[in-house]
Amino acid sequence: MDSNDVGRREFLKKTMLAGAGLGAMSGLAGAQESDKEPGPAKPLDRVPRKELGDTGKTIPILLFGCSQVFDPTYDKMLHRGFKDGVDYLDTALVYASGQSHKTLAPFVKQVGRDKVWITSKAPHRRRRADVASFERDLETCLGQLEVDHLDLFFMHMLDDTKYLDKDYLQMGERLKKAKKTNFFGFSCHDGNVVELMNKAARVGGIDAIMFRYSFGQYGDKELNRAIDACKKAKIGLIAMKTQRSVPAEQEEVIKFKSKDFTLGQAKLKAVWADERIDSAVSHMDSLELLKENVAAARSPIKLGMADFHQLNRLAACTSGFACMGCSQYCQPHVVADTRIADSLRYLMYYECYDEPEEAKRLYRKMSPGEREIDGVDFAAATRACPEGVDIANRLKLAQEVLA
């Protein structure tokens, strides 16, 4: 391995030896190692593939996040991605206000069902899903996509370990046996991600998990142990929210500079540098972003120490703006029903995703109690937040721009 090419473990080893965990890595900002000139490297023809867990199937390391409306006649982005090897569509019943499936269906017919991998998810967590509703929702997914099976069916946005009890695992087996889906798993955004992953590793029956993971969580010991447990259980691991989005003006503080990568590419590379992660999903809503991400995936050049150090500095400098969804830390300290992690996620959509209307729609869908901030004391929750988010002020901003 070139000394300039470091993986996650190698990087952690070096920085830990230097006496710094991630929480204190801002101190390393001035201790960058000099990078060696990489030799000439030819990009791969297509996005490389990895086996997803123990499924025996390979998937591209970059997945097409489909939370938008596509051109049903001929969608240039989907076709361009497909040509480059991004032949995995990640969608959900609720994406694009229910329009994602319907507008993906023509593309699937154009390229052929057996040429693309389709993952879908159902339902939204607050619909109080049960076995019967999951089975009904899967039929709806198939109907909207106009296919007879999915490659992977996810229980969407799980936040309760009861969904890994026997009834649900048996449902997964039943759906696979009935050939409604080839594989079964779940996605989890926030709350008890670690608990869910640990239970999945223990109970079996879960083929793959999609979870929030980025360079900002490299030093999270509990999460790392959960990832190791899932890996040992041969569960496929797909990273989402890899960009650890914060407002642009915050990111500019570190003035990221790399001879090989844009900041967005470096963030993806940091996730791919973790050998335990099988793939990363990206919501790609422009041809430019698709090309940028594909170029990063095809590039054989790995992140250098200087790149990693800049990412760590970014994580340290902007932690107060990046809500990681770990509501198990803050939520118990609030007496009211205010949904902290959800509100801050919608604020992220507003500030970072250029989706102000969707952010407002989601925010306004919450009940008045779930949006309540007046008279609510967030001091203890703020003290409990490992990211140092100023919860009261961020929620106030969310209310100002989204209500």
Q: Which residues of the shown chain bind ligand SF4 in the complex (CB under 6 A)?
A: 323-327, 329-330, 340-341, 344, 385, 387, 389, 391
> Are 344 and 389 spatial neighbours (Cβ–Cβ below 8 Å)?
yes
In angstroms, what is the minimal distance from the CB of 155 to ligand SF4? 21
- Residue 93 — left, alpha, or beta (φ > 0 → left; ψ -120 to 50 → alpha)? alpha
Nearer to ligand SF4, 96 or 389 (CB): 389
DSSP bridge pairs for 122: 155
In angstroms, what is the minimal distance from the CB of 159 to ligand SF4? 12
Nearer to ligand SF4, 305 or 381 (CB): 381
Nearer to ligand SF4, 208 or 347 (CB): 347
Nearer to ligand SF4, 180 or 212 (CB): 212
Q: Please state, in angstroms and as integers, the Cα–Cα distance from residue 147 to each residue in 63, 140, 216, following that order.
A: 19, 10, 38
In angstroms, what is the minimal distance from the CB of 391 to ligand SF4? 5
What are 107's two structure tokens? Answer: 């593309």
In single-letter form, the type of residue at position 345 comes to R
Give the Cβ contact number of residue 135 at 10 Å. 15
| Sequence-distant (≥ 6) Cβ neighbours of residue 338 within 8 angstroms | 369, 370, 371, 372, 373, 376, 395
| Sequence-distant (≥ 6) Cβ neighbours of residue 186 within 8 angstroms | 154, 155, 156, 158, 163, 164, 196, 200, 206, 209, 210
* Strand pairing class (181-188; 150-155): parallel
In angstroms, what is the minimal distance from the CB of 103 to ligand SF4? 32
Nearer to ligand SF4, 25 or 330 (CB): 330
Q: Please state, in angstroms and as integers, the Cα–Cα distance from residue 31 to each residue in 1, 25, 216, 313, 318, following that order.
A: 21, 10, 19, 11, 19
Nearer to ligand SF4, 274 or 387 (CB): 387
In angstroms, what is the minimal distance from the CB of 147 to ligand SF4? 36
Q: Is 160 helix (H, G, I), strand (E, B) or coil?
A: coil
In angstroms, what is the minimal distance from the CB of 160 to ligand SF4? 17
| Cα 191 from Cα 188, distance rounded (Å) | 8
> Are 67 and 96 spatial neighbours (Cβ–Cβ below 8 Å)?
yes
The crossing angle, in degrees rounded to 10, of helices 76-83 and 287-298 is 10
Nearer to ligand SF4, 235 or 395 (CB): 395
| Cα 25 from Cα 18, distance rounded (Å) | 10
In angstroms, what is the minimal distance from the CB of 284 to ligand SF4? 25
In angstroms, what is the minimal distance from the CB of 191 to ligand SF4? 8
Nearer to ligand SF4, 116 or 391 (CB): 391
